[in-house]
Amino acid sequence: MANETSLPTSTQEVFPTQVPETGMFISLGPQHPSTHGVLRVAITTDGELVTSAQPDLGYLHRATEKLAEKRTYPQIIVLTDRLDYLAAMTNNWSYCLAVEKLLGVAIPERADYLRIIVGELQRIASHCVFLGTYGIDIGAFTPFLVAFGRERERILDLFEEICGARLTYNYIRIGGVMADSPEGWEAKVRQFVKEMYGRIDEYDTLLTYNPIFMDRTKDIGKMSQEMAVAWGITGPNLRATGFKADVRKDDPYGLYAKMNFDIPVGKQGDCWERYCVRVQEMRESLKIIEQALNALQPGETMGKIPKTFRVPAGEGYGHLEAPRGDLGFYIVSDGSPSPYRMHIRPPSFVNLQVLQVLLKGWKISDVIAILGSIDIVLGEVDR
């Protein structure tokens, strides 16, 4: 059903010029409650069964890569905030990794631990949004307000305290972090981590093991391991197929090599396992935060970086495990204050492509379940 790995043969499927012979043509989006932004999925159906589905992107394109060519290196961090707006911390971090590789600077230890703490907090916040919106996609409204409105809000409060912003942080800078944590911040994080374990168990009883929820998501939208690899899927979506791949383990950046945590994997890559892997990841993130808090020592938070600097000519690639998968920044420098070319590898964009084969043969209700479980952020897809 959904195991073909080939692209559609013609654009006819994307924009049908006439009503299909059987069934109908539905334009799901760009204004639709469950496309999570301005994505349009062109669907032809036979009754309730989907015969073809084509994601149609570009409604949110802001030319981030081109803009970057006219900004100095520190100014670009602001642009990266706006990519995956639910996980701005990891965007900052990934960009800084690439630039730091080009510059060859060392990061103070405290800054690296702070990066890990905010990065993992960001992962939890992002997965909280996923959990809530996925609940809404399936029809349960309460998880949204519990996960989104209660737990994520507390994480954003923590972020606000450390960097002054709640959504676009601009916190992780080239060579370190913007500011040291304020007094008492670490205790608050500890308190939050302690409470969060119980909250995740609450989500399990509310949503994860709800029979209706399992009925809606188990065995739906199955993705084989070969298919996932062929389409370049990364992140929780890949791990749900049973493929143990995580940049934090495979290509450790920062101080992740010192951290002790597991990579949750699924078995058959259906919607429920994609969801479960994320819930499990939240628990692992909590463990990492605890370890980082224990290892946190007072010290510098910014490396020796001048206010204005030129990056030596050459190319650098930095990537990390963002909440949605492998996020990479590729920067080519010609020695000037701004990059010659910057390319972003956004995990959402790559994960989104598989929809055209994954959606085929399922019902319209399942389309929503699958679309939600892939967990895309349109800001990152369209850049």
Partner 1 sequence: MLEIGPFLSKAFQALQALVVGYGMPPLGAWILAKAIQAGIIVLLVSLVPMVLVYAERKVSAFMQARLGPMNVGPYGIFQTLADGIKLMFKEDIIPIGADRLAHTLAPMVAVAPVFVCFAPVPFGKGLVPIDLDIGVLFIFAISGISTIGILMAGWGSGNKFSMLGGLRGAAQLVSYEIPRVLSVVPVLMLYGTQSLRGIAAGQQGLWHGFLPRWFIFYPFVGQLAFLIFLIASVAETNRTPFDIPEAESELVAGFHTEFSGLKFALFFLAEYAYVFLSSAMAVALFFGGGDGFTAQGWFPSWIWFMGKTFAIVFLFLWFRWTFPRLRVDRLMQFCWKFLLPWAIVNIGVAGLMILLRK
Q: Which residues are near partner 1 by CB under 8 A?
A: 24, 26, 32-34, 48, 135-142, 145-146, 149-150, 206-207, 210, 212-213, 215-216, 363-368
Is the Cβ of residue 29 or residue 266 nearer to partner 1 in the bound state? 29
Give least dist CB 34 to partner 1, A. Answer: 4
The CA distance from 160 to 169, in Å, is 8
Distance in Å, CB of 30 to partner 1, minimum: 13
**2 or 263: CB nearest partner 1:** 2
Q: In the complex with partner 1, which residue's Cβ is closer, 82 or 222?
A: 222
In angstroms, what is the minimal distance from the CB of 58 to partner 1?
22
**CB of residue 170 to partner 1, shortest distance in Å:** 30
Q: 158 vs 371, which CB is nearer to partner 1?
A: 371
Q: Quick one: 184 or 211, whose CB is closer to partner 1?
A: 211
Amino acid occupying residue 344: I
SS (H, E, C) the chain: CCCCCCCCCCHHHCCCCCCCCCCEEEEECCCCCCCCCCCEEEEEEECCEEEEEEEECCCCCCCHHHHHCCCCHHHHHHHHHCCCCCCHHHHHHHHHHHHHHHHCCCCCHHHHHHHHHHHHHHHHHHHHHHHHHHHHHHCCCHHHHHHHHHHHHHHHHHHHHHHCCCCCCCCEECCEECCCCCCCHHHHHHHHHHHHHHHHHHHHHHHHCCHHHHHHHCCCCCCCHHHHHHCCCCCHHHHCCCCCCCHHHHCCCCCHHHCCCCCCCCCCCCHHHHHHHHHHHHHHHHHHHHHHHHHCCCCCCECCCCCCCCCCCEEEEEEEEECCEEEEEEEEECCCCCCCEEEEECHHHHHHHCHHHHCCCCEHHHHHHHHHHHCCCHHHHHC
Cβ nearer to partner 1, comparing 25 with 85: 25
Q: Shortest approach of partner 1 to residue 306 CB, angstroms?
A: 48
| Residue number, 278 or 383, with CB nearest to partner 1 | 278
> How near is the Cβ of 180 to partner 1 at its closest, in Å?
32
The residue among 228, 235, 241, 227 whose CA lies nearest residue 272 is 241
Minimum separation from the CB atom of position 24 to partner 1 (A): 6
Cβ at position 37, least distance to partner 1 in Å: 14
Least gap, CB of 239 to partner 1 (angstroms): 24
Between 246 and 273, whose beta carbon lies closer to partner 1?
Answer: 273
Whose Cβ is closer to partner 1: residue 196's or residue 322's?
196
Is residue 305 a contact partner of residue 105, using CB atoms and an 8 Å limit?
Answer: yes
Q: Phi/psi of residue 137, each to 5°?
A: -60, -40
